[in-house]
């Protein structure tokens, strides 16, 4: 893993945050998943969200592009408030890319078609431009030779890199990663993390739900520890790893860092 100080994205936490979450609540029936989450993310900031399973961290990032609906509180992305206004929702989805745990590539389309689908149909680019940019992205994630293959022909790590390229093709201002390496074989985790590190260094605003603590230490600007639908503790990786304040954070870290 590379040297800490040089890999940090070095964002400046001044001015309006690009994502602003105030007192976000969500219920699944009677189950209170999110219990008042507050988070500000600035342009270029890399945020790592971690915590035990069922703590609401995935639900939280899925609220940011409205895959899940929050029921109380406010979420403002790039100056647009998430409400029931479908135009706002569509505008935010254009600015926010997402990478899933299970890749969710479209199995009936080639890698190239997977990547160009959004740009062609949503951004209304012509095919040549979309394919040119898709090719650049495939080179960036290191698999330009797979362009004409179908997702089923690729390894898990390659599929996840295609999924990252697909999200980037929409030229989003923000990228959300929902446990991007949890479904991967150990030897493929590294290739995906390297792509994500490169992306963080390029200045992309990222929220990453992950248990890859090496990755967090290397590139995160801020870490948030989630438990039972709340942010229990937050801070820079140094603060969280070296000097956690809360007992629950200490316990969780000791459990995942032992291995």
- Residues in contact with other proteins by CB under 8 A are 65, 67, 90, 93-94, 96-98, 100, 102, 104-108, 113, 116-118, 120-124, 126-127, 130-131, 150, 152-153, 163, 166-167, 170
Nearer to other proteins, 105 or 213 (CB): 105
Burial class (CB in 10 A: 0-12, 13-18, 19+), 1: exposed
Tokens of 249: 């954070």
Minimal distance in Å, beta carbon 65 to other proteins?
A: 6
Minimal distance in Å, beta carbon 164 to other proteins?
A: 12
Nearer to other proteins, 177 or 215 (CB): 177
Nearer to other proteins, 128 or 247 (CB): 128
Nearer to other proteins, 150 or 241 (CB): 150
Residues 6 or more apart from 58 whose CB is under 8 A from it? 178, 179, 209
Minimal distance in Å, beta carbon 167 to other proteins?
A: 7
Minimal distance in Å, beta carbon 135 to other proteins?
A: 14
Q: 3-class SS at 194?
A: helix
Nearer to other proteins, 204 or 240 (CB): 204
Buried b (16+ CB within 10 A) or exposed e, 50-79: bbbeebbbbbbbbbbbbebebeebebbbbe
Minimal distance in Å, beta carbon 152 to other proteins?
A: 4
Minimal distance in Å, beta carbon 121 to other proteins?
A: 6
- The DSSP bridge partners found for residue 80 are 77
Minimal distance in Å, beta carbon 163 to other proteins?
A: 8
Nearer to other proteins, 60 or 252 (CB): 60
DSSP 10-35: -----SS-SEEEEEEEEEETTEEEEE
Burial class (CB in 10 A: 0-12, 13-18, 19+), 108: exposed
User: Which one, of 191, 136, 190, lies nearest residue 168 by Cα?
Assistant: 136
User: What is the CB neighbour count within 10 angstroms for residue 106?
Assistant: 13
Nearer to other proteins, 119 or 244 (CB): 119
């Amino acid at each position: 893993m590379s040297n800490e100080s040089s890999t940090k994205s070095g964002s400046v936490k001044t001015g309006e945050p690009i994502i602003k979450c105030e007192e976000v609540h969500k219920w699944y029936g009677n189950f209170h998943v999110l219990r008042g989450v507050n988070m500000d993310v600035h342009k270029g900031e890399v945020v790592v969200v971690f915590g035990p399973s069922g703590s609401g961290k995935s639900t939280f990032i899925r609220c940011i592009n409205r895959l899940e609906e929050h029921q109380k509180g406010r979420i403002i992305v790039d100056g647009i408030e998430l409400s029931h206004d479908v135009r706002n929702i569509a505008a935010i989805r254009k600015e926010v890319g997402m990478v899933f745990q299970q890749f969710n590539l479209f199995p009936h389309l080639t890698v190239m078609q997977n990547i160009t689908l959004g740009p062609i149909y949503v951004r209304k680019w012509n095919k040549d431009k979309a394919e040119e940019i898709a090719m650049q992205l495939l080179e960036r994630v290191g698999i330009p030779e797979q362009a004409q293959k179908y997702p089923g022909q690729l390894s898990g790590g390659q599929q996840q890199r295609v999924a990252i390229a697909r999200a980037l093709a929409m030229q989003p201002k923000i990228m959300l990663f929902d446990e991007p390496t949890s479904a991967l074989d150990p030897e493929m985790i590294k290739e995906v993390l390297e792509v994500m590190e490169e992306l963080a260094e390029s200045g992309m605003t990222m929220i990453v739900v992950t248990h890859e603590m090496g990755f967090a230490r290397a590139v995160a600007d801020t870490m948030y520890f989630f438990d039972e639908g709340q942010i229990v503790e937050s801070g820079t990786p140094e603060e969280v790893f070296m000097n956690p304040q809360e007992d629950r954070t200490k316990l969780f870290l000791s459990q995942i860092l032992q291995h």
